[in-house]
Structure 1
Amino acid sequence: MRTLFSVLLLLALVTPVRARSAEVRKTPRSAPAAAMDALLAGKFRADQPGAVVLAVKEGRTLFRKAYGLASVELGVPVKPDTVFRIASTTKQFTAAAVLELVEEGRVDLKAPLRRYLPELPAGWAAITVEHLLTHTSGLREYSRAPDFRMEEPVTPAGLLARLEGWPLEFEPGTRFAYNNSGYILLGLLVERLSGQPYETFLKEHFLQPLGLTRTAFPTHGELVPGLASPYSSGPRPAPVVSPSPAGGLVSNADDLAAWTLALHGGKVLSPASLQVMTTPFHLKDGQDTRYGLGMRIGELHGQPYIHHSGDNPGYHVQVAALPRSRVAVVVLMNGEEGEVSPEFLAKRLAALAIGQPLTEPTPSVVSVEVLQALVGRYRSGDAVRTIRLRDGHLYSVLGEGPPGLIQPLSPTEFFFPDNSDLHLRFTLEAGRAVAVTRLSDGGSPQVFLREPAESKP
């Protein structure tokens, strides 16, 4: 089974601030706004954890709306200015901090990390600053340690103690493997070279000059005014992940849109630094990773689509930009019900903002006999996905969540009509599914293996 898992995963992967950001201006309701409203209709229930959605073009707000509850227990609704933990969307702030140090001549992206942090293990000599920024360092992901507890504060010293006994998982620059360990070390690099705490550097160089008053790096356990509570499926209260330069900022939609427009508008970094940040890194074999420095690099209707997600228990975020069209989209969620994806929503909102809606896939026809061979219960770690057949259609149930209709693109690949960027690909042996891989646009594949002794779904 371990060999099968490996094969399936391999197949699935195939300057300082120069001016205050422009004020986002509101505009009357438009055709794009109506289409965005229709897209979001029914996605979030009024009595469940919710979301904030914001779309801005050329400094004007096209769409700004809140859904659901910020506190389910207290019945407090989400508001358009509600604050969320933005998880890994923090990485672009960390990357921008490093690039500002590059502009000041304090760091060289191509230099070995140990030039600046000599206390690091000798076995990391080949790791450059760039490798950390691009998730190509070969460092082990600290959260995979058996004794990892997400609520425990993460310090550079604690991280080093955890990592120094582990060998690199691959030669730096030869593979892409999303990695939070590297960004925690980048936070240490910023502190070492600037002589300031990480949060102070961000505040003085980015947050205050840009007027981002609702963005902060709170300490572990610190109260955050206006913060939405996080919920896992159920809904149930979700644990709070300890903050770090890999994912510790809190913010709201307005601040994130202002940051995005300022960054891509040349008000944060020099043109040369911004170009480096938004250019995909290539591995030693020439493979395009589709990842720059703290940014995922895609394409939408012939123009660069720059985006990044943030995912912590109960918090799911997507911040996206179409720089040529001066479009910024922000989706912030505080729940995990169903298969609603901020990545899916942001991409379609961006397309609507430029008047070019995306075309959704058309289902193919597959026999009931073929569908029956896919029915079963599949597991990936603690996550269980059950595939059920009802009235000639397949449904996917993740954990105790609601059933979600999936429709065929082929006999072995299916999509969710409410989130067509999310696919389930089945692997067959002797005509029967033995595994199903969850594939999402810009996300990592997740392989679920059929449970050998399963109860009837």
Structure 2
Amino acid sequence: MVNVEARLASLFEEVERDLGFSGAVLISQKRQTLFEGAYGLASRQLNVPNTVETRFHIASLTKMFIAMAALALVEDGRIALDRRPAEYLPSLSALDERITLHHLLSHTSGLSDVYDTPNPHYEALKAKHDGMDLLAYLASQRQASEPGDRWSYSSTGYLLVGYVLEQVAGTAFQTLLRDRVLAPLGMTNTGVDRVRRINRGRAVGHTFADGHFANAENDALSPFEEGPGELYSTVGDLKLWCEAVLASPPVAATTLQLMFTPHASIDAVRSYGYGWFLEPTMRFHGGHTPGFLSRITQYPERDLSLIMLMNASHIDPAPVLERAASLVAGASR
């Protein structure tokens, strides 16, 4: 593959120089790393550079892992996706009785998104650090549409699934995730990101405006100290994840296929599975929270995975990774 590493290096150097890219990237094909690199600073206050081992908050990339943990319990026969969440967690009895776990995982529950702003009630609840208060609040979220009627992105649903998984497994979500997904894949640098706990090696989130970086107001990364929270990870660990969903998943291939089945149409070319956006030749998901952006893009037929993690939330990674994928394709001709 002629000059692909040099071409990719030039691309990401350009993105760092022209746009202020701060983060790490890894591109792999057929289990081989084509390129990896780190740019910018993990902490601007301490002048600590990012490396390929730096841990980043990955925000909504976490949905992929919640979906995989759910499929593991489906495979065990411990949950069924056509059942109501309250059958497993009675605290959710206030949910519309038509909503199933499938609806929550496919963003077709019709529940409004708890992270939408303004949302003063949720902001007040964050300060209480009481998981059951959050459950009661989540269960009473406004129905923005009828269950199953249409696709509408809602993090509320994935939070609810996480709490159901905890209840069914009888253990903390991070323990379930470690035992059923992370450990089998060798992902030792991934876990639930608890904002008030020391996480050595994790980057600080930054914002960028008017040519200047600032520390992000990211105390909302994990609003409660317990329960299913968003994850941190590294590009190396996410390479293991990408390889697993392409060829060696922690569940049976028939179970994994549920993740990549188009359960809900978004537009003429895009649909949603469980934890992934799906297009004819490509699938992806991103994450965004104050100070952090992340994206995984895969081209399954090419066995190509592109991972971009950032601790500055001002660059759209999608077009950058599209350019990178084109460079790989051009070099392989």
Do they fold alike, i.e. is TM over 0.5?
A: yes
SS in 1 for 2:16: coil
Counterpart check, 1:351 vs 2:326: yes
| Higher fraction of strand | 1
SS in 2 for 1:354: helix
**Which among 247, 271, 277 is matched to residue 253 of structure 2?**
271
Counterpart check, 1:44 vs 2:25: no
Letter in 1 for 2:252: S
**Which among 66, 74, 85 is matched to residue 102 of structure 1?**
74
**Structure 1 partner of 2:285:** 308
Aligned partners of 1:36 and 1:286: how far apart in 2?
A: 31
Mapping for residues 47-58 of structure 1, pairs under 5 Å: 50-58=22-30
Aligned partners of 1:164 and 1:202: how far apart in 2?
A: 23
| Higher fraction of helix | 2
Q: Unaligned stretches of 5+ in structure 2?
A: none
Q: Percent identity?
A: 32
Aligned partners of 2:19 and 2:145: how far apart in 1?
A: 47
Q: Can you list the C-alpha shifts for 1:237-266, whole angstroms capped at 9, x where unaligned?
A: 112223277751111000001111112213
**Which among 189, 207, 220 is matched to residue 164 of structure 2?**
189
Cα 1:202–1:278 shift into 2, 3 Å: same
Q: Unaligned stretches of 5+ in structure 1?
A: 1-28, 358-457
1:42 offset after TM fit, Å? 2.4
Answer whether contact 2:264 2:273 (CA < 8 A) is retained.
no
Counterpart check, 1:60 vs 2:29: no
Mapping for residues 155-304 of structure 1, pairs under 5 Å: 156-233=131-208, 234-240=212-218, 241-243=220-222, 248-282=230-264, 290-299=271-280, 303=281
Letter in 2 for 1:243: S
Aligned partners of 1:292 and 1:356: how far apart in 2?
A: 31
**Which among 5, 9, 33 is matched to residue 5 of structure 2?**
33
Q: Count how many residue pairs are aligned between Structure 1 and Structure 2.
A: 322
Cα 1:279–1:152 shift into 2, 3 Å: farther
- Let me know the Cα RMSD of the aligned residues: 2.7
Aligned partners of 2:49 and 2:141: how far apart in 1?
A: 46
Aligned partners of 2:179 and 2:47: how far apart in 1?
A: 36
- Kindly indicate whether structure 1 or structure 2 has the higher relative contact order, using CA contacts under 8 Å at least 6 residues apart: 2
TM superposition outliers: structure 1 runs of 4+ over 4 Å: 45-49, 150-156, 244-247, 285-289
Aligned partners of 1:47 and 1:356: how far apart in 2?
A: 25
Aligned partners of 1:154 and 1:272: how far apart in 2?
A: 39
Counterpart check, 1:324 vs 2:306: no
Letter in 2 for 1:281: H
Cα 1:136–1:273 shift into 2, 3 Å: same
Cα 1:69–1:49 shift into 2, 3 Å: farther
Letter in 1 for 2:286: S
Answer whether contact 2:24 2:235 (CA < 8 A) is retained.
yes
Answer whether contact 1:310 1:316 (CA < 8 A) is retained.
yes
Answer whether contact 2:293 2:309 (CA < 8 A) is retained.
yes
Aligned partners of 1:309 and 1:278: how far apart in 2?
A: 16
Letter in 1 for 2:274: L
1:292 offset after TM fit, Å? 0.6
Aligned partners of 2:130 and 2:257: how far apart in 1?
A: 31
SS in 2 for 1:169: coil
Q: Can you list the C-alpha shifts for 1:303-331, whole angstroms capped at 9, x where unaligned?
A: 3x121101111100011222222222110
1:112 offset after TM fit, Å? 2.1
SS in 1 for 2:153: coil
Q: Which has the larger radius of gyration?
A: 1
Answer whether contact 2:221 2:289 (CA < 8 A) is retained.
no
**Structure 2 partner of 1:148:** 122
1:154 offset after TM fit, Å? 6.3
Answer whether contact 2:288 2:313 (CA < 8 A) is retained.
no
